[in-house]
Amino acid sequence: MHATGTHFTDRTDAGVRLADRLGHLRGPGTVVVALPRGGVPVAAEVAAALDAPLDICVIRKLGVPYQPELGMGAIGEDGVRVINDHVLRPAGVTPEQLAAVEAHERTELERRARRYRGDRPPVDLHGRTVVVVDDGVATGSTARAACLIVRARGARRVVLAVPVAPRDWTERLGDVADELVCVGTPSPFFAIGEFYADFTQTEDAEVLRHLTEAATPTDVPAPTDTDTDTTAPVSAPATPATDRELTLPAAGVRLTGRLTVPAGARGLVVFAHGSGSSRRSPRNLHVATGLNAAGLATFLFDLLTEDEEPDRRNVFDVALLGARLTDIARTLPDEVRTLPDPAGAPPRPAALPAALPLALFGASTGAAAALWTAARLGDGVAAVVSRGGRPDLAGAAVLAAVTAPTLLIVGGRDDAVIELNRRARAQLRCESELAVVPHAGHLFEEPGTLDRVAELARDWFRDHLGPVPTTADPPS
């Protein structure tokens, strides 16, 4: 946290605090327009506070090819295109490179517009006050494109509202908005995410949920869900017998996680999150939901405390993360044997059977921690799955000591990580497989790719944890 900055718990908290500054806009002529995906949870709170319709303005950042998080421009609906020469020229991006990035992002923009809107038209903005909301402003390219889009669609007054922005943001964007509202403009400012305790990526399913909940019969009909290429679960899992947060001791600290146990669970999968992630990771939650539907219990917990998270060295300290994961893996079955009811009632019967097989699921740097734990626990771990992982960080000695069957899942477009996984697999002495998901990047954001991860993990655990109930399957 910056002593001179503004810090939010998550996007919902940011939306509540931003809405407090927008009360003067409450009225029948106001529409709230969010930038998907991160701006939607923020805008949902604003729209609720203003009692205004919620719509979206689909924007895609044009990232510098070798540094995609750095925006050199943005494109939006209705053919709007904004280029930031202050980034483009110093980065040395050629016209051919720019065209390639733009073509790729245009395809994704059109897919997301279809996904979010379905068959419904955008909310009519003619003559209305439009509040454009995002989770923050960095370079301003995306916000600029959004303001231009809503202005072109007939907005009478454009208000750009964000939780956090650089101090010079009004100079950058004052020419495209009639009013600019921000909770805080801290300095120094390097990235939006540094001012959020939880800045995990917003998934399509969450965008759809907010739009559906905010919909009204006249302004925002509920979006259709006909796009089968989605990361949202296609079939909902059965109601779990146990679904609650636990705080457990691990290697001298106390760590919080979410335990979900379906009725008749046949195995327990403990998740180790990766760099910059947490137990609320949408991607890991998506996979966990699929495993729960297949009859597997899951425990998603934070490997680091809040005080430790800002130090990036901790994220790559495999011994530290592995020791904590090992402690959790050893103690969790005993801890959940008798879970007290929230109201303080006597402990209820065991949630998990005594002989529950244990498996590990690791993502990014969490994969190295999972393998470190598997090497320490030997036969105590029945199987390991890595998603977009860095097993190489575990080291040759650890990899050679792993006995649990290990599945390494990597995106087909993640060339560097594919090679790292191939080298790591060559050092494993246990049963192992490398599964490459076609057309997937490092984060498995592409349509259907995360569903494929859930399928692969489910099948691997089924094969190595024994039979599980088949009455419900994970997303497919």
- pLDDT (0 to 100) of residue 395: 92
**What is the spatial distance between Cα 37 and Cα 58, in angstroms, rounded to a whole number?**
9
What's the pLDDT tens digit per position in 394-406? 999 999 999 999 9
- pLDDT (0 to 100) of residue 221: 36
- pLDDT (0 to 100) of residue 106: 85
Whether the per-residue pLDDT at 17 is higher than 70: the answer is yes
Q: Write out the DSSP string of 325-362.
A: HHHHHHHHHHHTSSPPPTT-PPP-S-SS-TT--EEEEE
Which residue in 138, 140, 184 sits closest to 163, CA to CA?
184
**Of 468 and 110, the one with more pLDDT:** 110
- pLDDT (0 to 100) of residue 391: 93
Q: How many CA atoms lie within 13 A of 220 on its CB side?
A: 23
- pLDDT (0 to 100) of residue 120: 64
Whether the per-residue pLDDT at 426 is higher than 50: the answer is yes
* 269 phi/psi in degrees, rounded to 5: -110, 120
Q: Which of 61-70, 240-249, 348-357, 443-452 has the highest mean pLDDT?
A: 443-452
Task: Tell me the average pLDDT across 423-451.
Answer: 90
Whether the per-residue pLDDT at 384 is higher than 60: the answer is yes
> In percent, how much of the chain has pLDDT > 70?
83
Find the DSSP H helices in 224-343. 282-293, 312-315, 318-335
Residue 335 pLDDT class (50, 70, 90 cuts) = low
Q: What would the two tokens of residue 94 be? A: 């050629």
**Of 322 and 270, the one with more pLDDT:** 270
Whether the per-residue pLDDT at 125 is higher than 60: the answer is yes
Whether the per-residue pLDDT at 316 is higher than 50: the answer is yes
Whether the per-residue pLDDT at 336 is higher than 70: the answer is no
Q: How far is CA 441 from the centre of its chain?
A: 14
**Of 405 and 232, the one with more pLDDT:** 405
- pLDDT (0 to 100) of residue 251: 77
Q: Strands 383-387 and 406-411: what pairing? A: parallel
Residue 232 pLDDT class (50, 70, 90 cuts) = very low
- pLDDT (0 to 100) of residue 215: 62
**What is the spatial distance between Cα 287 and Cα 61, in angstroms, rounded to a whole number?**
27
Whether the per-residue pLDDT at 371 is higher than 60: the answer is yes
**What is the spatial distance between Cα 158 and Cα 179, in angstroms, rounded to a whole number?**
7
Task: Tell me the average pLDDT across 231-260.
Answer: 66
What's the pLDDT tens digit per position in 22-78? 999 998 899 999 998 899 999 999 999 999 999 998 888 888 887 776 778 888 776
Residue 339 pLDDT class (50, 70, 90 cuts) = very low
Whether the per-residue pLDDT at 233 is higher than 70: the answer is no
Which residue in 19, 287, 296 sits closest to 161, CA to CA?
19
**Of 173 and 221, the one with more pLDDT:** 173
Structural domains of the chain sorted by starting position, each given as residue range(s) with its CATH number in brackets: 11-214 (3.40.50.2020), 242-340+348-465 (3.40.50.1820)
What's the pLDDT tens digit per position in 252-302? 888 888 888 887 788 899 998 865 566 677 778 889 988 988 888 899 988
- pLDDT (0 to 100) of residue 203: 87
**What is the spatial distance between Cα 144 and Cα 95, in angstroms, rounded to a whole number?**
22
Contacts of 286 (CB under 8 A, 6+ apart): 203, 205, 231, 233, 450, 454, 475
Whether the per-residue pLDDT at 247 is higher than 90: the answer is no
Which residue in 243, 332, 240 sits closest to 293, CA to CA?
240
**What is the spatial distance between Cα 369 and Cα 384, in angstroms, rounded to a whole number?**
11
**What is the spatial distance between Cα 267 and Cα 269, in angstroms, rounded to a whole number?**
7
Instruction: Report the largest interatomic distance among the alpha carbons of the chain, rounded to a whole angstrom.
Output: 68
Residue 334 pLDDT class (50, 70, 90 cuts) = low
Q: Strands 54-56 and 30-34: what pairing? A: parallel
Q: What is the mean pLDDT of the chain?
A: 81
**What is the spatial distance between Cα 272 and Cα 303, in angstroms, rounded to a whole number?**
7
What's the pLDDT tens digit per position in 188-213? 888 899 899 999 888 888 888 888 88
Whether the per-residue pLDDT at 242 is higher than 80: the answer is no
Q: Outline where DSSP puts E strands in 66-225.
A: 67-76, 81-83, 129-133, 157-164, 179-184
What's the pLDDT tens digit per position in 143-184? 888 898 888 778 889 999 999 999 999 888 988 899 999 999
Going from the C-alpha of 173 to that of each of 184, 252, 429, the distances in angstroms are: 16, 48, 57
Going from the C-alpha of 349 to that of each of 352, 354, 372, 469, the distances in angstroms are: 9, 12, 33, 21
Whether the per-residue pLDDT at 343 is higher than 50: the answer is no
Q: How far is CA 238 from the centre of its chain?
A: 23
Which residue in 218, 237, 245 sits closest to 469, CA to CA?
237
Whether the per-residue pLDDT at 227 is higher than 50: the answer is no
